[in-house]
Amino acid sequence: MKSIVILASGSGSNAENIISQFKKNGTIKVTAVLTNKQNAAVLQRCERLGVPAFYFNREAFSGSEAFLDMLKGFNPDLIVLAGFLWKIPSQLILAFPDKIINIHPALLPKYGGKGMYGAKVHKAVKDNSDVETGITIHYVNENYDEGAIIFQAKTAIEPSDSVEDIAKKVHQLEYEYFPKEIEKLLL
């Protein structure tokens, strides 16, 4: 059985979607969800779904070996960032080469980099009057949103679309394609 560890910072809708997809799959399992926010809604989702979830702080994440040791203990085949906003330390990238992936709510290289996440990305897309947007699933390297691209999917944007409309279209792409691409990487 292949093992996934998910890192999440917020509500956990993508994490829940991934967990739900792989509960039906006998060859891939979400072993744990790790979050850097004590009150993140993803913790309640994991409790409801029966998936172990753990909180960690910045010191454990980047100031010691504690987080790395915990991750190694799970022995993941893939580490999936699902709305996780902290930069991944180089020691984690070195310990898990080509085993850490992220999903970004835009067609990279557009609208990537530090501070470009969630509604900020959708607002930039709207402000620039783009006619399409989408998702990018990519490997994580030492720079925000610059790892090798694994997959992209696009959706059209109408001039009348609000930032919220754009977000809904992007979320639909995330929910449809993220689990599929994870499965392709693991099988």
Closest by Cα among 99, 185, 86, 93 to 144: 86
8 A C-beta contact, residue 46 and residue 33: yes
Rg (alpha carbons) of the chain, rounded to whole number: 16
Scored b (16 or more CB within 10 A) or e, 60-75 reads bbbeeeebbebbeebe
Q: Dihedral, CA atoms, 85, 86, 90, 91, nearest 10 degrees?
A: -110
Of the candidates 104, 122, 138, 171, the residue annotated as catalytic is 104
Q: Answer yes or no: 104 catalytic.
A: yes
8 A C-beta contact, residue 63 and residue 57: no
Cα 176 from Cα 159, distance rounded (Å): 24
List active site positions.
104
